[in-house]
Amino acid sequence: MLQGISAREEPIDAMVRDQLAKSTDVYFSADVETDGPIPGPFSLLSFALVYAGTFDGKTFKRPSALDKVFYRELKPISEDFQPEALRVNGLDRDRLCREGLSPEQAMREATEWVGSMVVDGQPALVAYPLSFDWTWLYWYFTRFCPTGSPFGYSRCFDLKTAFAVKAGIPIVRAGRSKILASLRPTHAHTHHAVDDAIEQAEIFANVFEWQGKNGLDL
């Protein structure tokens, strides 16, 4: 009887170990630049993904350098755009109409790159705030990549919420301008997707490692 119990437990233990390995979060900081507020009527013009670390439920490991970067510029998918959006990101929409990658190629290559970066665990997307960048990337992955989103439909981390919870402040007071000096990045915010994704990855690691503080005068 005891041998029978042992025999049944061994594969269960192996399965648990496998599940624990897959439960590790592999984070990617994401930034998008667009020509309008929503995907479909408007277009994703560029985006960047930066490897930002891992967390296995106990230990967070930040990358030694923020040099694992994926960046693409895309052809617009519609004629509609908002001039003010282009003024912010500085992208030449006419050039992208001629030279940008097709959304199908860009999203396929992004999926392949994310997969190449994840040995154990599952990829999770990080943004500040998450709602804008996730909306665009999830829509584009779902619409243009045959395998869909490499982040599933919900593997995502809202850095704004994380900061608000650790700081003990409301969401409405947790914008980037409220980040404490000790948590601020060394990388500049330029409205270029690569720069901003790297900057965000720095903030993410700083906030993740921060023990938090209640009652901040922010």
CATH code, domain with 154: 3.30.420.10
pLDDT of residue 187: 87
* pLDDT of amino acid 67: 96
User: Is residue 5 assigned to a domain?
Assistant: no
Tell me: the pLDDT tens digits for 27-51? 999 999 999 999 999 999 999 999 9
Give residue 1's pLDDT.
Answer: 34
pLDDT, residue 196, reads 96
Q: At 101, phi and psi to the nearest 5? A: -70, 155
Please give the Cα distance from 8 to 33 (Å, whole number). 53
In single-letter form, the type of residue at position 12 comes to: I
Residue 127, domain extent? 24-209
Domain assignment present for residue 10? The answer is: no
Residue 15 lies in a domain: no
- Helix, strand, coil proportions of the chain in percent (round to 5)? 45, 20, 35
214: in domain: no
CB 101: neighbour CB atoms within 10 A?
16
pLDDT value for 5: 34
> Within a domain: residue 14?
no
In this prediction, residue 216 carries a pLDDT of 47
Reduce the DSSP state of residue 191 to 3 states and report it: coil
1 in any annotated domain? no
**Number of H-type helices and E-type strands within the chain:** 7, 6
Gap between the terminal Cα atoms of the chain: 64
Interior angle at CA 28, CA 128 and CA 35, nearest 5? 55
Low-confidence ranges of the chain (pLDDT < 70): 1-22, 214-218
- Residue 126: inside a domain, yes or no? yes
Partner residues linked to 42 by β-bridges: 39
With respect to residue 46, please indicate whether it lies within any of the assigned structural domains.
yes
Q: Based on the structure, what is the number of domains in the chain?
A: 1
Q: Is 192 a catalytic residue?
A: no
Catalytic-role residue among 187, 189, 191, 192:
191
Supply the pLDDT for residue 14. 54
Beta strands in 56-198 (DSSP E): 60-61, 69-73, 122-127, 156-158
